[in-house]
């Protein structure tokens, strides 16, 4: 009889469902699962995306200039590459549905380019979710071909770029 490989930190077999115990087994799990938002029973990606707003506010407070905001988001992206790869390996699924750090960081990036005001924030949220879910070219290709932490993070970065371009188009029209 063979058994599934077990992750040394969590003790879980590959493919097992994540829970609060899994989150607390390793800091990477907690980060990758958006501090628990990825455990939402329905639409964890959408719930996780909402955490991009407080992340943006923290970055905005820490770095009021554009270059430093981008640097902090780049650091968050790199942390995400590590955390998402680690959590994916532990679960045996490279891009597990509960891994939402990619949505959080990507939406925070969209907010850097979003005009002030709740209507714009709502539009940014909707546009990002549409592009993240529909995955138009080349997002779908990146999602299919790139695996591990970088692949998890990169396809959401592309969705963020689409959302930013659409927001700029809306700004121009307004």
Contact 113, 70 (CB under 8 A): no
Task: Note the pLDDT tens digit of each residue in 131-156.
Answer: 999 999 998 898 888 889 999 999 99
pLDDT averaged over every residue in the chain: 90
| pLDDT in the model for residue 147 | 84
The ranges assigned to domains in the chain are 20-173
pTM recorded for the entire structure: 0.89
Work out the pLDDT band at 127, boundaries 50, 70, 90.
very high
**Per mean pLDDT, which range of 8-17, 64-73, 150-159, 164-173 is the poorest?**
8-17
Work out the pLDDT band at 16, boundaries 50, 70, 90.
low
| pLDDT in the model for residue 42 | 94
- Average pLDDT value for residue range 83-105: 94
52 vs 133: CA distance, rounded Å: 17
């Amino acid at each position: 009889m063979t058994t599934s490989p077990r992750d040394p930190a969590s003790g879980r077999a590959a493919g097992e469902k994540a829970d609060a115990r899994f989150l607390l087994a390793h800091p990477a799990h907690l980060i990758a699962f958006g501090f628990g938002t990825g455990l939402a029973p329905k639409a964890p990606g959408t719930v996780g995306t909402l955490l991009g707003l407080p992340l943006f506010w923290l970055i905005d407070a820490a770095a009021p200039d554009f270059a430093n905001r981008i640097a902090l988001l780049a650091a968050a992206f790199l942390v995400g590459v590590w955390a998402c790869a680690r959590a994916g390996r532990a679960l045996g699924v490279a891009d597990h549905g509960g891994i939402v750090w990619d949505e959080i960081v990507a939406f925070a990036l969209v907010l850097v380019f979003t005009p002030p005001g709740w209507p714009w924030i709502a539009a940014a949220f909707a546009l990002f979710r549409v592009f993240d879910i529909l995955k138009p070219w080349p997002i779908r290709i990146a999602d299919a071909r790139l695996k591990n932490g970088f692949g998890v993070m990169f396809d959401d970065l592309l969705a963020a770029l689409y959302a930013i371009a659409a927001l700029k188009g809306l700004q121009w029209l307004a």
